[in-house]
Amino acid sequence: MPQQNVNQLVSHLFRHEAGKMTAVLTRLLGFGSFDIAQDIVQETLLKAMSVWGFKGIPDNPSAWLYTVAKRKAIDVIRQQRLHEHHEAVIGKALQSEWTLSPAVNQLFLENEIEDSQLRMIFACCHPAVPYESQLALTLKTLCGLSTAEIANAFFTNEETIGKRIYRAREKLRDEKINLEVPPPAILPSRLDAVLHTLYLLFNEGYNSSHPDELIRHDLCEEAIRLCLLLTKNPITAIPSVKALLALMCFQASRAEARITAAGAIVLLKDQDRKLWNKALIERGRFFLEASAEGDEFSEYHIEAMIASCHAESNTFDETDWNRIFQLYTILASLKQSPIIEMNKAIALGYAQSSEAGLEALTKIDGLNDHYLYHAARADFYATLHKNEFAIQAYERAWELTSSKAEQALLKKKMLALSEDQRNN
Q: Give the pLDDT score at 46.
A: 81
| DSSP states along 276-333 | S-HHHHHHHHHHHHHTTSSS---HHHHHHHHHHHHHH-SSSTT--HHHHHHHHHHHHH
pLDDT tier, 314 (very low <50, low <70, confident <90, very high otherwise): very high
Which pLDDT score, from 0 to 100, does residue 100 have? 53
pLDDT exceeds cutoff 90 at 419: no
Residue 97 has pLDDT above 50, yes or no: no
The residues with which 265 forms a beta bridge, in sequence order, are 259
**Quick one: pLDDT band at residue 295, thresholds 50, 70, 90?**
confident
**Contact between residue 197 and residue 223 where contact means Cβ atoms under 8 Å apart:** no
424 pLDDT tier (thresholds 50, 70, 90): low
pLDDT band at 72 (very low <50, low <70, confident <90, very high): confident
C-alpha 394/C-alpha 399 separation (Å) is 9
Task: Determine the Cα–Cα distance for residues 340 and 337; give it in Å rounded to an integer.
Answer: 5
Angle at 364 between CA 362 and CA 370, to 5 degrees: 95
Percentage of residues in the chain having pLDDT higher than 90: 48
179 vs 406 pLDDT, higher one: 406
Across residues 260-288, what is the average pLDDT? Answer: 94
Top mean pLDDT of 89-103, 288-302, 314-328 is at: 314-328
Provide mean pLDDT across the span 273-284.
96
Q: Rounded distance, CA 163 to CA 154, Å?
A: 13
Q: Cα–Cα distances in Å, from 344 out to 171, 239, 324?
A: 38, 24, 8
Residue % of the chain over a pLDDT of 70? 88
Closest C-alpha among 192, 256, 249, 253 to residue 225:
249
Does residue 292 lie within any of the structural domains? no
pLDDT at residue 367 in the model:
93
The model's confidence at residue 240, banded by pLDDT at 50, 70 and 90, is: very high
Does residue 207 lie within any of the structural domains?
no
- Is residue 14 one of the residues assigned to a domain? yes
- Total count of domains within the chain: 2
Answer whether residue 308 shows pLDDT above 80: yes
Q: Using one digit for the tens of pLDDT, what is the confidence trace for 182-217?
A: 788 888 899 999 999 999 999 999 988 777 778 888
- pLDDT for residue 76: 78
pLDDT at position 407 is: 94
Cβ(188)–Cβ(198) below 8 Å = no
- pLDDT for residue 333 is more than 70: yes
Say if CB 119 and CB 27 are below 8 A apart.
Answer: yes
Who wins on pLDDT, 170 or 4?
170
Residue 98 predicted with pLDDT over 60: no
d(CA 227, CA 248): 9
Residue 119 banded pLDDT, cuts 50, 70, 90: confident
DSSP state string for 76-111: HHHHHT-TTTTHHHHGGGGGSHHHHHHHHHHHTSHH
Domain membership flag for residue 363: no
Domain with 404 in it: 368-424
Virtual CA dihedral for 173, 175, 178, 182, nearest 10 degrees? -130
Instruction: Return phi, psi of residue 217, to 5°.
Output: -60, -30
Q: Is residue 38 part of a domain?
A: yes
415 domain residue, yes or no: yes
The residue from 74, 108, 142 where one domain ends is: 108
Residue 151 DSSP class:
H
Instruction: Give the pLDDT band (50/70/90) at residue 180.
Output: confident
pLDDT class for 350, splitting at 50, 70, 90?
very high
State the chain's mean pLDDT as an integer: 85
- Structural domain includes residue 61: yes
Decide which of 66, 89, 108 is a domain's last residue.
Answer: 108
Radius of gyration of the chain (CA): 24
Is 145 contained in some domain? no
| Three-state secondary structure readout of 129-161 | CCHHHHHHHHHHHCCCCCHHHHHHHHCCCHHHH
Residues 167, 172, 173, CA angle at the centre, nearest 5°?
A: 95
CA–CA dist 303, 246 (Å, integer): 9
Q: Is residue 259 classed as helix, strand or coil in its secondary structure? A: strand
What is the CB neighbour count within 10 angstroms for residue 59?
Answer: 7
Q: State the pLDDT at residue 82.
A: 43
Mean pLDDT over 289-299 rounds to 90
| Cα 270 from Cα 254, distance rounded (Å) | 12
Per-residue pLDDT at 267: 93
- What pLDDT score was predicted for residue 111? 52
- Cβ neighbours of residue 395 closer than 8 Å, sequence gap 6 or more: 414
Better-predicted residue by pLDDT, 249 or 73: 249
CA distance 127 to 182: 11
In terms of Cβ atoms closer than 10 Å to its own Cβ (0-12, 13-18, 19+), residue 54 is: exposed
Dmax of the chain from CA atoms? Answer: 85
Domain boundary, last residue among 108, 135, 165:
108
